Structure 1
Amino acid sequence: MRTQTSLNGWLVIDKPPGITSYDVIRRLKRHLPKALKIGHAGTLDPMATGVLPVALGQATRLIEYVHTHPKAYEARWVGGARTDTDDATGRVIESLSHDELRRVLSHYSVSDVRRAFYGMVGVYRQTPPMVSARKVAGKRLYELSRAGTVIPRDERPVVIYTVHIRHLSLHTDPPTVDFYVRTSKGTYIRTLVQDIGIKLGLPAHLGYLRRTESGGFTLKHARSLDHVLERLKEDEGAFRTLLYPLHAPLQGVRLTVPPSFFSSIQNGRSLLFKMEEASESIATQDLNIVDRHKERVEAMRFVEMVDGVMQLQSLVQLFHENGQLLALYRFVGKQGKALVLRAEKVFPAE
């Protein structure tokens, strides 16, 4: 029989098209203890596919940290028509005839279109679409949209880190551009597609969307929902082999602490962490997680590392020597040669 403590971690689903992110949660719940908490980190629309991190048990307390990671997508820009949902599932509300479309495109070369896409790299201000899950005055925008209500939305700065054009076809009807984009949290790809269309003087919509990265997880970490459900039908204990550990998506400095700290950590006390007491320091971002080498770090070398990479308010992950995540702390300053760490999340000992 599965226990709640054995089901703390991350399940990474490759969401199929045609279902909501919550549909994924609902299907997984059938195979979980009723009292176990479950949630997803980052909604995908029904038309979208790809990486959906699912948190089980204690991992639900870490969803807020997962949202800080960049996200990446494979997407399709479709020119010549705009829909009421800004994607291919919506009703066309603006369109150009074939001749009008050809006339507009005749003013642009392939290089011009490429520049319109690559010109989006950097910080730009984006207006959330009415079909988004963002809340305004306590109501989600998509709820207002379904009721036929459109309200003003404030622009927000977002960051486009990278754009790569995979395939560009301006002479097809409609013209399409397949592209890869890596963005900051809170970026709406359907709005990005609209904004590129505006730059080109064309109505446009999102034709396809596949998330390839979210929460530090990529498609190589994801399993199809059908595969996961089939495994669970065969063996209810399969969750243990499918889960990534709690700390898989976390960023920050990782420290293995000596036993003398365990009581203070479990009670959520602030710590004075002396350099010479550090038995191990792990700053890797590798999703294979904890590199369990047993080399001890010399005090001076540790001081240099901390001074170089750990800024005030940096997240610090504290581990038991057996690899269990004990707690998340914040580096809030120094007292002499000791680090001052303040508790943020403490996890039950297993």
Structure 2
Amino acid sequence: MTTAPAIPAAPARKRVRPLATLVRFQSLLGLILVLIGGIAFSPRRHGHILFLATDNIANIVRSISETGILALGMTFVIIAAGIDLSVGAVLGLSSVLTATLLVNSGWGLAATLPLVLLAGALFGLIQGALATRLRIQAFIVTLAGLQAARGLALIASGNTFININYGHGPGNAPPAFAILGERLLGDTFPVATLVFIVLAALATFLLNRTRYGRYVFAVGGNERAARLSGIPVQWIKISVYGLSGLCAGIAGIVHAGQFSFGSPNDGTGYELNAIAAVVIGGTDLFGGAGSMVGTIAGAVMLGALANILQLNDVSAAMQLLATGAIIVLAAGLQTIIRRDGSSR
């Protein structure tokens, strides 16, 4: 008696998880909703929608340039399961160093800019080394770093506001530095935004197309497995803080160029906006997952939301409440997805 061949079982269908899909694309969906809301609720002048006015769009993209640059570096840190609370203060320190070296010390751009970038990167590397090698929580290390950077900025500036005047001779910065505060394409496209776009392209390539980016994801996803695979875990964890500090240094230079001054109070609260952009962009606060495109969309979403609220004369307090609610919602969705995934 012959036995009929067994019929192979049909492959199990991968269950679609709508909530997980929502979280994956939350920044893009949120950006679309904010843009639709901006158009719908925008004040109008002579029949024109103010939200879509060229000058207003330029103001939005200019306003997100600095926090967007900070968010790029923060994305690497959070994907590697870290956090950096010092970036706003390092931005302030970098703007003060830029103004001091250009105006008070009479340095040129060729000497000033590399030194400021080196200072930002070195500050981040030191924090990364303390958190990694001494096994101190990154939250504590970078919180202390925030205070240290503010203190250094106060010392470097003499606790004074440093105005940047352009010209030749003592007390003046090179006129070429003023380009960071200008606009291109018929006075509509801020140069600072161009800097952000270039850095965003480089950061996206580094994260998605290089071995380094794969290592960052591996370390954040499972540090022990990454170490057993031969990945230099400590070096990766330290280096992401160096990248974050470098981005903060660039943002500080851009800030000084845009506003033509340096102040030890520059960048206050910027770290919260940067973290918000990363979280809203879908990067997992526990590490191992995230995207640079999501971070960019999150930064634009926050800038557009703040702009439409301002256009409608919504108080600053309500703006903060709205931003906070969005952050909590994004983090809450991530937590639900993580719990749902671990229960299967």
Q: TM-score, normalised by structure 1?
A: 0.24
Q: Which is richer in strand?
A: 1
Q: Which is richer in helix?
A: 2
